[in-house]
Amino acid sequence: MNYEPLDLSGLTLVTPTRHGDERGWFSEVFRQDLFGANVADVDFVQHNHSYSKPKGTVRGLHFQLAPRAQGKLVRCTRGRVLDVAVDLRSSSPSFGRHVAVELTAANGRQLWVPAGFAHGFCTLEDDCEIVYLVTDTYSPEHDRGLLWNDPALAIAWPVAAEDAVLSAKDVRQPRLAELGRVFD
Protein backbone atom coordinates (compact mmCIF):
# COMPACT_ATOMS: atom_id res chain seq x y z
CA MET A 1 0.00 0.00 0.00
CA ASN A 2 1.36 3.39 -0.97
CA TYR A 3 0.36 6.58 0.88
CA GLU A 4 1.11 9.84 -0.96
CA PRO A 5 0.42 13.14 0.84
CA LEU A 6 -1.02 15.67 -1.62
CA ASP A 7 -0.45 19.42 -1.97
CA LEU A 8 -3.18 20.36 0.51
CA SER A 9 -2.44 19.34 4.09
CA GLY A 10 -4.52 16.37 5.19
CA LEU A 11 -5.32 14.97 1.75
CA THR A 12 -3.70 11.64 0.90
CA LEU A 13 -3.74 9.50 -2.24
CA VAL A 14 -3.82 5.83 -1.26
CA THR A 15 -2.78 3.24 -3.84
CA PRO A 16 -3.30 -0.36 -2.79
CA THR A 17 -0.89 -2.99 -4.09
CA ARG A 18 -2.39 -5.48 -6.52
CA HIS A 19 -1.09 -9.03 -6.61
CA GLY A 20 -1.95 -10.59 -9.94
CA ASP A 21 -1.57 -13.64 -12.09
CA GLU A 22 -3.37 -15.14 -15.09
CA ARG A 23 -6.64 -15.30 -13.07
CA GLY A 24 -6.71 -11.59 -12.26
CA TRP A 25 -5.59 -9.79 -9.11
CA PHE A 26 -6.12 -9.46 -5.34
CA SER A 27 -5.73 -6.30 -3.31
CA GLU A 28 -6.15 -5.18 0.28
CA VAL A 29 -7.94 -1.85 -0.16
CA PHE A 30 -7.98 -0.87 3.51
CA ARG A 31 -6.15 -1.88 6.70
CA GLN A 32 -6.95 0.01 9.89
CA ASP A 33 -3.43 -0.37 11.30
CA LEU A 34 -1.66 0.89 8.17
CA PHE A 35 -4.15 3.69 7.57
CA GLY A 36 -3.78 4.83 11.19
CA ALA A 37 0.02 4.78 11.00
CA ASN A 38 0.27 6.53 7.61
CA VAL A 39 -2.80 8.76 7.22
CA ALA A 40 -5.16 9.22 10.17
CA ASP A 41 -6.38 7.30 13.18
CA VAL A 42 -10.10 7.23 12.37
CA ASP A 43 -13.04 4.90 12.71
CA PHE A 44 -15.23 4.38 9.68
CA VAL A 45 -18.90 4.02 10.63
CA GLN A 46 -20.71 3.99 7.29
CA HIS A 47 -19.97 2.56 3.83
CA ASN A 48 -21.59 4.35 0.87
CA HIS A 49 -22.02 3.27 -2.75
CA SER A 50 -22.96 5.68 -5.55
CA TYR A 51 -23.91 4.83 -9.15
CA SER A 52 -24.00 7.48 -11.89
CA LYS A 53 -25.38 6.47 -15.27
CA PRO A 54 -24.41 9.29 -17.69
CA LYS A 55 -20.96 10.70 -18.41
CA GLY A 56 -20.77 14.28 -17.12
CA THR A 57 -22.66 13.62 -13.89
CA VAL A 58 -21.41 15.95 -11.15
CA ARG A 59 -22.09 15.11 -7.51
CA GLY A 60 -21.00 17.68 -4.99
CA LEU A 61 -19.39 19.62 -3.61
CA HIS A 62 -20.69 18.23 -0.28
CA PHE A 63 -19.66 18.29 3.37
CA GLN A 64 -21.14 18.03 6.85
CA LEU A 65 -20.69 20.59 9.61
CA ALA A 66 -19.23 19.79 13.02
CA PRO A 67 -19.98 18.00 15.23
CA ARG A 68 -21.03 15.60 12.43
CA ALA A 69 -18.23 16.42 9.97
CA GLN A 70 -17.12 13.47 7.88
CA GLY A 71 -13.79 12.20 6.67
CA LYS A 72 -14.13 10.11 3.48
CA LEU A 73 -12.00 7.43 1.87
CA VAL A 74 -13.21 7.41 -1.75
CA ARG A 75 -12.56 4.94 -4.57
CA CYS A 76 -13.98 4.23 -7.99
CA THR A 77 -15.00 0.61 -8.54
CA ARG A 78 -16.43 1.00 -12.05
CA GLY A 79 -15.50 3.54 -14.71
CA ARG A 80 -13.54 6.77 -14.25
CA VAL A 81 -14.15 9.96 -12.28
CA LEU A 82 -12.43 13.24 -11.57
CA ASP A 83 -12.54 13.41 -7.77
CA VAL A 84 -12.23 16.84 -6.14
CA ALA A 85 -11.63 18.07 -2.58
CA VAL A 86 -11.84 21.78 -1.63
CA ASP A 87 -10.23 23.06 1.58
CA LEU A 88 -12.85 24.86 3.71
CA ARG A 89 -10.71 25.23 6.85
CA SER A 90 -10.65 29.00 7.35
CA SER A 91 -7.36 28.88 9.31
CA SER A 92 -5.63 26.83 6.60
CA PRO A 93 -3.12 28.50 4.27
CA SER A 94 -4.79 26.55 1.46
CA PHE A 95 -8.34 27.72 2.24
CA GLY A 96 -10.43 27.73 -0.94
CA ARG A 97 -7.88 25.71 -2.92
CA HIS A 98 -8.60 22.27 -4.31
CA VAL A 99 -7.03 19.02 -5.40
CA ALA A 100 -8.40 16.98 -8.31
CA VAL A 101 -7.35 13.40 -9.03
CA GLU A 102 -8.57 10.81 -11.48
CA LEU A 103 -9.85 7.71 -9.74
CA THR A 104 -10.59 4.71 -11.91
CA ALA A 105 -11.52 1.09 -11.46
CA ALA A 106 -8.33 0.26 -13.34
CA ASN A 107 -5.90 2.33 -11.23
CA GLY A 108 -7.48 1.37 -7.88
CA ARG A 109 -6.39 4.64 -6.26
CA GLN A 110 -8.32 6.08 -3.31
CA LEU A 111 -8.54 9.64 -2.04
CA TRP A 112 -8.61 10.38 1.69
CA VAL A 113 -10.65 13.56 2.26
CA PRO A 114 -10.57 14.59 5.93
CA ALA A 115 -13.23 16.62 7.70
CA GLY A 116 -12.89 20.29 6.76
CA PHE A 117 -13.06 19.70 3.01
CA ALA A 118 -15.92 19.76 0.52
CA HIS A 119 -15.94 16.73 -1.76
CA GLY A 120 -17.38 15.99 -5.19
CA PHE A 121 -16.73 14.22 -8.45
CA CYS A 122 -17.54 14.22 -12.15
CA THR A 123 -17.98 11.04 -14.16
CA LEU A 124 -15.63 10.75 -17.14
CA GLU A 125 -17.61 7.96 -18.79
CA ASP A 126 -21.03 6.31 -18.52
CA ASP A 127 -21.87 3.86 -15.74
CA CYS A 128 -19.54 4.86 -12.90
CA GLU A 129 -19.62 3.54 -9.36
CA ILE A 130 -17.97 5.10 -6.33
CA VAL A 131 -17.69 3.52 -2.91
CA TYR A 132 -16.53 5.39 0.14
CA LEU A 133 -16.08 4.92 3.84
CA VAL A 134 -17.06 7.79 6.13
CA THR A 135 -16.19 8.67 9.71
CA ASP A 136 -19.70 9.78 10.71
CA THR A 137 -23.18 8.85 9.59
CA TYR A 138 -25.27 11.06 7.34
CA SER A 139 -26.95 13.92 9.19
CA PRO A 140 -29.46 15.99 7.16
CA GLU A 141 -29.31 18.90 9.61
CA HIS A 142 -25.49 19.14 9.21
CA ASP A 143 -25.47 18.49 5.46
CA ARG A 144 -24.13 21.41 3.39
CA GLY A 145 -22.70 22.09 -0.03
CA LEU A 146 -20.67 24.44 -2.17
CA LEU A 147 -21.46 25.40 -5.78
CA TRP A 148 -19.51 22.96 -7.92
CA ASN A 149 -18.54 25.48 -10.62
CA ASP A 150 -17.93 28.59 -8.51
CA PRO A 151 -15.34 30.56 -10.56
CA ALA A 152 -13.49 31.44 -7.34
CA LEU A 153 -12.55 27.75 -6.96
CA ALA A 154 -10.97 27.56 -10.45
CA ILE A 155 -11.70 23.84 -10.78
CA ALA A 156 -11.05 22.56 -14.32
CA TRP A 157 -14.12 20.36 -14.55
CA PRO A 158 -14.18 18.07 -17.61
CA VAL A 159 -17.75 19.10 -18.45
CA ALA A 160 -19.31 22.43 -19.44
CA ALA A 161 -21.94 23.82 -17.05
CA GLU A 162 -24.70 23.46 -19.65
CA ASP A 163 -23.82 19.78 -20.19
CA ALA A 164 -23.36 18.74 -16.55
CA VAL A 165 -25.91 16.34 -15.08
CA LEU A 166 -26.74 17.74 -11.63
CA SER A 167 -29.26 17.28 -8.85
CA ALA A 168 -31.61 20.16 -8.07
CA LYS A 169 -29.82 20.49 -4.73
CA ASP A 170 -26.36 20.87 -6.31
CA VAL A 171 -27.54 23.57 -8.74
CA ARG A 172 -28.59 25.77 -5.78
CA GLN A 173 -25.50 25.50 -3.56
CA PRO A 174 -23.83 28.73 -2.38
CA ARG A 175 -20.55 30.11 -3.72
CA LEU A 176 -17.47 30.13 -1.49
CA ALA A 177 -17.88 33.88 -0.78
CA GLU A 178 -21.48 33.24 0.42
CA LEU A 179 -20.63 30.22 2.53
CA GLY A 180 -19.26 31.93 5.62
CA ARG A 181 -16.96 30.28 8.14
CA VAL A 182 -17.77 26.55 8.26
CA PHE A 183 -14.53 25.02 9.64
CA ASP A 184 -11.72 26.57 11.72
Per-residue pLDDT at 174: 98
Q: Which residues are catalytic?
A: 62, 132
Is 129 within the bounds of a domain? yes
Q: Which residues pair with 159 in a beta bridge?
A: none
Condensed to tens digits (0 to 9), the pLDDT of residues 41-99 reads 999 999 999 999 999 999 999 999 999 999 999 999 999 999 999 999 999 999 999 99
Is 34 within the bounds of a domain? yes
* Helices marked H in 31-109: 32-38
Domain span holding position 11: 2-17+27-179
Condensed to tens digits (0 to 9), the pLDDT of residues 89-130 reads 999 999 999 999 999 999 999 999 999 999 999 999 999 999
Residue 121, domain CATH:
2.60.120.10
Which residues, other chains included, contact 180 with Cβ-Cβ below 8 Å and sequence gap of 6+?
A: none
* Cis peptide bond prior to 147, omega within 30° of 0: no
